[in-house]
Structure formats: structure tokens, C-alpha cells
Amino acid sequence: MKTTLEYYDIFPKVLCTGSWSTVAIQALGEHAAFDAAGYYRVKLVPMNDTLINLPSGAYQTADVVYKSGVLFFSCLLHGEQQYAVLLQRQNKEEWRICCELRIYALHPDFFGLRPFRGDMHCHTCRSDGAEGPSVVAANYRKAGFDFLAITDHGQYEPSLEAIHAYEAIPMSFRLFPGEEVHPPKNNSHTIHFGGDYSINDIFRKHPKQYEEEVDAIERKLEVPAQVNAREYASLLWVYRQIRKAGGLAVMAHPCWIQEEAYHIPRAMYRYLLETQPFDALELTCGQSPEENQLQVSLWQQMREEGHGVPIVGSSDSHGTVNSQWFGLSKMIVLAEACEKDAIIDAVRARQVVVLEQYHGESFPRVYGENRVLEFVLFLLTEYMPLHDELCYEEGRLMKAYACGDKEAGKLLGWIGRRTEELFEKYWARQ
């Protein structure tokens, strides 16, 4: 965490353009305390404007009011961007900088959105993962996640098991149903996020119906010669069934190296990106840099060719304790609420930033639309570290509760909504 965040708190951190806001700066400890007799002001530097185009004298300044150890100032910001807040104290005839803080101004259409860190693709010991569903969920919250869908291979029930494990505890952390769909005689996997029932169960319980419906789809297809029409028809069936169930259909790990070959034939991968019958592409996941960067490269190439697709980032985690891939890939979604439909709407609207960070790296690579990405970069340094401290405590209590500690459940009930309170503190009221 930045030293500045340890020494000072500024709130709200996120303001709405075109509206006056009162901002507070609080010292965190006597070593950073403000002098009641001192003269302070703030200078607001819009970080997307250069010094050449906006001379120093043109920067907006605001008078500061001292009250009970806290400094207050009011401002009206018009440009959507990050602002450096230079807190200055007068020393004789000079103004000297005490500290540099950061705030962000959003236009009204984005100001009502909240950032949620999530993962739509992980496994438990119910398939080929290491831990049980309730422990997996706890460890995700401990790592700073706001939502999770467990997606065991061919199984929907483990995701419900995790949901039921914590349904009696009021928490901000959300668990959603999901599964990894493996259609018969089709090597391409699909993540089913959030739907109301299992898609795997349909073709397991009604194999004849599945084959007949895929036959009907295939008969109507005209696909390139290098694309397997049967597999493509099968995928169309899967995507349609997921949407019918109220879920999101995600093309999973297309460049995963499976038995010496990439998971999805390159011609099929390109054709899927061109036709976009799915809802989102899993841009990065728990894979090697080679595999992930192949996915990123083709996604970028197809965007240049006019085939932009929504993206998500997931870990495909098979273990959450001392795991090589846990947390490697994730996403931050800007949505109206941490609810299934709001998250799905945000993904489709491309209000998602994918983060890829291997062990030992101090900062992630980020992918997404520029407007969303720029705001998320601010959040990663100025908001998420504070959010993650709260999540860590909740995750520890979740695991204890899942392992039979009833007292941990009581404590979790008291603190389980603190991330919502944090949001209310750092987003300006309108």
C-alpha cells in the first residue's frame, strides 16, 4: 500500500463532474497531524492536461477549513479524469507541499457504477480442484474478491453448495451459480455464469434431444470449410441454452495447451470471434504467459479487423492455497450493483478491465476499454488496497465459519458489509 494511504485519508475519492463536492483530508496519526494554527490550501492538478497547455497559475485552488483535526475544501470539477490534490501549507511567503493525494471525477453515467472484483471460472474438489466449495469461496474473499462463481467441470451443484454454506450470513461478498459446460463430442469448453439451472444436465439426461437439436442447427449452417460445422452447431446450442437459463456464456481458455495442442482450433477461434455467438471471451486465465498472450494478441488483432468482443478475466483456479495460478487473472467490473443481471449487463457493455499478474510482479497488466481502464488504474492504487484489508478479515472468518466456528459466523455478520460502507464513504453523495 502507498505510504500516503497509510498517513492520510481523503474522502470522498470519487466525485461527479458538474457538481460541487466537499472533500475531507484526515491525518492518520500524530506524525501526520495538521496544525490548527497553520494556513493550508489545495491545488487541483488535472492529470490529463499538460503543464504546457495549462500553466501552473491556471490550476484550480481551494481554501481549506480546519475543523477538529480534519481539513475540508470544496471543488467543482468538469473533466473526467484523475486529479492530483496538492495540499500546501504557507511558510512565510511560500506555499510548500505537505502531501500529494488523488481523487477522480466521473461523468454522471459512470458515477453511479461500482467497482467489483470477480472471477467466473474456478474449481473445487468436487471436480479436479483442491479444496471444498465453502473454503474456496472464503479464500477468494480473503484475496479481495467481491463476487465468485464456482464452475466445476460438468457440475452445477458445487456452486450451489458454496451459496448455501453462507446464506445465513449477511455479507457483501456474492456467490453465483455456474458450471463449466462440456458438450458431447466437442472439445470446446464454455463457462456458464449465473444461470438458473444446469446445462450439462440437459444433454446428460436428454441425450437424444440434444443430438436432434444440434442436428437441426447444423443443417442450417454455412461455415468455412476449415471450421467443424458439428462442433460449431454444438456451441451455438450451448450458448443459446445458457442465455435461456438467464446466464452469461463465456468462451473459455481458447489457447490452453491441452495434450500438446491448443484447446480450440485456430480457424474455429477466429470464426467464433468474427461471428460472436457467445457473450464474452475469457481473455486471460490461469495459464502460462505464452497461452495468455496468444489470446490477447488475437483479440487485439480481431478488434483491428472490426470484431471487438466483450472480455472477462478469470483464474481457472484449481486450488486457492499455495497455488501457482490462483489470482493470476481476474477482472474488475463497473456495474450498478453486485447482482447477476447488473454484472452481465456490465460485461456486455464492456465495462470490464481484465488484470493479469504473475507471482512476483508488483503490478498487473490491464486490458479493456480506455475509459474504464483509466478509472480502474486509479482504483488499484487509491481504493482497492483499503477494500482488500476489509476483505481479508472477512475471508478468515468465512473459513472459520465454514469449518464449524459459530462465533466466527456472529463476527462475520457484524462486519460482513463493511465494503459497502467503504464505498459510501469514498463516492461523493449527489
3-state secondary structure of 365: strand
Residue 225 falls inside a structural domain: yes
CATH number for the domain spanning 269: value is: 3.20.20.140
Domain identity same for 227 and 288: yes
Same domain, 86 and 200: no
Looking at the structure of the chain, the number of domains it has is 2
Whether residues 242 and 155 share a domain: the answer is: yes
- Alpha-carbon Rg for the chain, nearest whole angstrom, is 24
Please give the grid coordinates belonging to residue 149: 462463481
Q: Give the pLDDT band of residue 82 (cuts 50, 70, 90).
A: very high
Mean pLDDT, all residues of the chain: 95
Helix ranges (DSSP H) in 87-191 = 108-111, 133-142, 157-165
CATH number, position 35? 2.60.40.1930
Global pTM reads 0.96
Q: How many CB atoms lie within 10 A of CB 239?
A: 24
61 and 122, same domain (yes or no): no
Residue 320 and residue 133: Cα distance in Å, rounded? 11
Residues 164 and 44 in one domain: no
Considering the domain architecture, whether residues 122 and 101 belong to the same structural domain is answered as: no
- The domain boundary residue, chosen from 92, 108, 124: 108
Using the predicted structure, report yes or no on whether residue 50 has a pLDDT greater than 80.
no
Residue 430 located in a structural domain: no
273 in the same domain as 176: yes
Question: Where residue 293 falls among pLDDT bands split at 50, 70, 90?
Answer: very high
Please compute the mean of the pLDDT values over residues 151-162 and round it to a whole number: 98
- In this structure, of 135-144, 191-200, 251-260, the range with the lowest mean pLDDT score is 251-260
Final residue belonging to a domain, choices 58, 92, 108? 108
pLDDT of residue 51: 66
Rounded to whole angstroms, how far apart are CA atoms 288 and 201? 32
**Last residue of one domain, picked from the residues 80, 108, 136:** 108
d(CA 313, CA 118) in angstroms, rounded, equals 8
Matching residue, cell 510548500: 96
On whether both 87 and 125 belong to a single domain, the answer is no
- pLDDT reported for residue 356: 97
Looking at this protein, which amino acid is placed at residue 382?
A: E
Q: Does residue 240 share a domain with residue 94?
A: no
> What is the per-residue pLDDT for 54?
61
Residue 141 structural domain: 114-412
pLDDT at 324: 85
Say yes or no to pLDDT of 299 above 90. yes
Mean pLDDT across 113-136 = 97
pLDDT digits (tens, 9 = 90+) for 251-290: 999 999 988 899 899 999 999 999 999 999 999 999 999 9
**Where is 20: in which H helix or E strand?**
strand 20-27
The rounded distance, in Å, linking the Cα atoms of 78 and 17 is 5
Q: Are residues 224 and 307 in the same domain?
A: yes
Instruction: Map grid coordinates 480473503 to a residue.
Output: 142
- The answer on 159 and 101 residing in a single domain is no
Assess whether 209 and 298 both reside in one domain: yes
> 14 Cβ partners below 8 Å, 6+ apart?
103, 104, 105, 106, 111, 383, 426, 427, 428
Query: Quick one: average pLDDT of 386-412?
Result: 97
The rounded distance, in Å, linking the Cα atoms of 274 and 239 is 15
